[in-house]
Structure 1
Amino acid sequence: MTPLQVQTFPEAIAAMLPWSGLWVDVLSALVGTFLVANFLLLNTAVAGPWAKRKITAAFTDRISVNRMGPAGILTIPADAVRLLSKEQIIPEGVDRPAWDMGPILIPFSALLGFAVIPMGSGIQVADPEVGIAFAFAASSIASLGLIMMGYASNNKYSLMGGLRAVASNIAYEIPLVVTGVSVILFTGSLRTSTIVAEQAQPLVTLWGVSIPQWFAFVNPFAFALFTVANLAEVGRNPFDIPEAPTELVAGYQTEYSSAYFVLIYLGEFIHIFLGGAIAATLFLGGPAGPGPAALGIVWFTAKIWAFYLFTQWARSAIPRLRVDQFIEIGWKGMLVLSFANLVLTAVIVGVLA
């Protein structure tokens, strides 16, 4: 293990087994991936059917689910049974298999992005040298799923939703990545474990208390830009143009029901958590937090849930933009500011070097 590379979760599992060989490495990778995926799916199951309703109700002074189980928690299995037991309706004229593949790509791309995210407590499926670039690339696969769903549905509202989704991702993904690159200028590495390790250094010590060198403290302007672009990337207000219920019924997902609707819904919330995970990795020290290193997974979970709470606040409090405003802010505002931040960061890093 090199100084820049941590022991991954599958490697830790393989080290605990009394055997060795290729089959052990494959088995360890499968077990590690299975455990991480189920951890994420469990969080999503709580976030989607239950927490979303509870949080939105609290923000809007309403009563949320409270009939099924304590605080309505049994709504989670009830919704799963209800949705999965519905009839799968396939409209006439859809273009299969594109219509079938679209809903699968959305959760798949989000789960794939988590493969390189250090979650703390030794939980990281892979640690390649191009880690953060891989996370951005994996999350971008969802755009392909959205345009496939919109095109293949044989529905003008779905087609418009798919086109808006592509316009959204192009307009805001460039500022998102460029802002992420400004962090790479500080670290000199794309490896996610290195980015997290760099933020463990103390930034300043006041009265015996050390403030960590989180890049949200070092460059708060970049963190603000990244957070706004991240909102657009996960499709939350004021950037939920691809779905826009008042204009497009449900946009790209109009013609989907039953298990396919569950996959779309699942992918949407995993992507919110992935957005929070990337933001935490780049700007908030990853799984770092007070206490022993064993609490890393706890702090990581708290950070991605904090981002989820922020997206739900935005959904409840901020009105949707018009599509022309949406595009104008992306190209004339976010893009210019992200490149300005990149140039300024390069100058600062060059001076400090």
Structure 2
Amino acid sequence: MLPLQSGKVLLPETIANLLGLSGTVGQIVGGLIGAFLIANLLLIQTAVAGPWAKRKITAAFTDRIAVNRVGPFGLLVIVADAVRLLSKELVVPEGVDRPAWDIGPLVIPFSALLGFAVIPMGNGIHLADPETGLAFAFAASSIASIGLVMMGYGSNNKYSLLGGLRAIAANLAYEIPLVITGASVVIFTGSLQMSHIVAEQANPLLTVAGVTIPQWFAFVNPFAFVLFVLANLAEVGRNPFDIPEAPTEIVAGYQTEYSSVYFVLIYLGEFIHIFLGGAIAATLFLGGPAGPFLPGFVWFIIKIWAFYLFTQWMRSAIPRLRVDQFLDVGWKGMLVLSFANLVLTAIIVGVIA
């Protein structure tokens, strides 16, 4: 493993030192507590993003009035929605494949939370830093595809099955360009390790009128950044790529047969995946937690919420594509452009080196 940049210590090690633990026991206890803290931080943000912020942002874009009656600024709608959804009856349709039907909704939020294990969120707020960190983040995010297949197949419903197939088609068409575009960053840095990728972007790119612009890869290769963000939109299911669960076309897709706590888990996973997509984009192209004046952790939160705001803007402003257009853009457009970007990046880096 490459050494951590600037002598930074991982969060589990910090927790273990604070508790006076060492060795394997310290690693296990520190890792469990650190994972618990990070997971709860993300769940709190998701609770704000789903029931409240999504409605407020969409209302602002569409010139409507959002939730404003339940608590100050409508914030208590978060509690009201939680009670309303969790208290609903869990209806189990006849003929479902129970193992697949039950496990599917759990896989989606779990895969997104797992991806955050290797994301550097600020000075010392980093659970793990393996040499294959970027590959791990992509692999963890992709586990959600298994959950979608399980939900679609296990529901014993043709509409759900079609929604699951659409979801897999979407992932195949856009995860490949997503990974290939991320690989162009790896060519610049020579490493898959997240801390190394962030450290490389701390170098100055140029100085204009006394202001130093950092070497964020969004500035170095803006074409790759745009490709990555667009592929990410498809990955998190936001317009114009909101195909797998297009409610007006396919009765909410793979989640048709779910209610109560399972319905909550599905939407919880959806919003955590949006934050994970923003976190990976920020790490690869926007310097990770880097930023002036404010602590790094604050900048990290600002960046993932900026990506969330962008997804909601696209959801309100852009109509979705037809499924044939969706696949054409992925296979004939994004895939070709991502490979072209990869080859061009390799040539430029080879010439400079």
TM superposition score normalised by structure 1: 0.98
Aligned counterparts of 2:153 and 2:196: Cα–Cα separation in 1? 41
Aligned counterparts of 2:187 and 2:21: Cα–Cα separation in 1? 42
Q: Which one of 133, 145, 154 corresponds to residue 143 of structure 1?
A: 145
The runs of 5 or more residues in structure 1 that have no matched partner are none
The size of the alignment, in residue pairs, is 351
- What residue in structure 2 maps to residue 315 of structure 1? 315
- What residue in structure 1 maps to residue 111 of structure 2? 109
- What residue in structure 2 maps to residue 236 of structure 1? 238
Is it true that 1:52 corresponds to 2:54 in the alignment?
Answer: yes
Q: Which one of 84, 93, 118 corresponds to residue 120 of structure 2?
A: 118
SS, match of residue 186 in structure 1: helix
Aligned counterparts of 2:315 and 2:195: Cα–Cα separation in 1? 32
How far has the Cα of 1:207 moved from its partner? 1.9
Aligned counterparts of 1:333 and 1:77: Cα–Cα separation in 2? 43
Is it true that 1:303 corresponds to 2:306 in the alignment?
Answer: no
Is it true that 1:218 corresponds to 2:213 in the alignment?
Answer: no
How far has the Cα of 1:26 moved from its partner? 1.2
Aligned counterparts of 2:152 and 2:87: Cα–Cα separation in 1? 24
Structure 2: which amino acid aligns with 1:226?
A: F
* Cα-to-partner distance string for 1:230-272 (whole Å, 9 max, x where unaligned): 0000000111100000111100000000000000010000000
Aligned counterparts of 1:19 and 1:145: Cα–Cα separation in 2? 37
Q: Which one of 251, 254, 269 corresponds to residue 253 of structure 2?
A: 251
TM superposition score normalised by structure 2: 0.98
How far has the Cα of 1:14 moved from its partner? 1.2
- What residue in structure 1 maps to residue 331 of structure 2? 331
Is it true that 1:209 corresponds to 2:192 in the alignment?
Answer: no
- What residue in structure 2 maps to residue 178 of structure 1? 180
How far has the Cα of 1:4 moved from its partner? 4.0
Aligned counterparts of 1:151 and 1:288: Cα–Cα separation in 2? 43
* Cα-to-partner distance string for 1:112-171 (whole Å, 9 max, x where unaligned): 000000000310110000001000000000000001100110111101100000000000
Aligned counterparts of 2:70 and 2:175: Cα–Cα separation in 1? 40
Structure 1: which amino acid aligns with 2:73?
A: A
Residues 4-83 of structure 1 correspond to what in structure 2 (within 5 A)? Answer: 4=4, 6-83=8-85
Aligned counterparts of 1:55 and 1:220: Cα–Cα separation in 2? 27
Structure 1: which amino acid aligns with 2:313?
A: W
Structure 2: which amino acid aligns with 1:319?
A: P
Structure 1: which amino acid aligns with 2:320?
A: R
Is it true that 1:347 corresponds to 2:347 in the alignment?
Answer: yes
* Cα-to-partner distance string for 1:268-327 (whole Å, 9 max, x where unaligned): 0000000000000000000000026xx111000000000000000000000010000000
Aligned counterparts of 2:281 and 2:239: Cα–Cα separation in 1? 18
Q: Which one of 135, 152, 176 corresponds to residue 133 of structure 1?
A: 135
How far has the Cα of 1:18 moved from its partner? 2.4
- What residue in structure 1 maps to residue 291 of structure 2? 289
Please give the root-mean-square deviation of Cα atoms over the aligned residues, in Å. Answer: 1.0
SS, match of residue 98 in structure 2: coil
Aligned counterparts of 2:2 and 2:184: Cα–Cα separation in 1? 25
Aligned counterparts of 1:26 and 1:285: Cα–Cα separation in 2? 30
Aligned counterparts of 1:286 and 1:116: Cα–Cα separation in 2? 12
- What residue in structure 2 maps to residue 264 of structure 1? 266
* Cα-to-partner distance string for 1:193-234 (whole Å, 9 max, x where unaligned): 000000000000112210000000000000000000000000
- Contact 2:110/2:269, CA 8 A, preserved across alignment: yes
- What residue in structure 1 maps to residue 154 of structure 2? 152
Identical residues among aligned pairs (%): 78
* Cα-to-partner distance string for 1:48-94 (whole Å, 9 max, x where unaligned): 00000000000000010011001100000110011000000000010
SS, match of residue 97 in structure 1: helix
The runs of 5 or more residues in structure 2 that have no matched partner are none
- Contact 2:46/2:268, CA 8 A, preserved across alignment: yes
- What residue in structure 2 maps to residue 85 of structure 1? 87
Structure 2: which amino acid aligns with 1:187?
A: T
SS, match of residue 205 in structure 1: strand
How far has the Cα of 1:2 moved from its partner? 5.8
SS, match of residue 204 in structure 1: strand
Aligned counterparts of 2:350 and 2:102: Cα–Cα separation in 1? 50
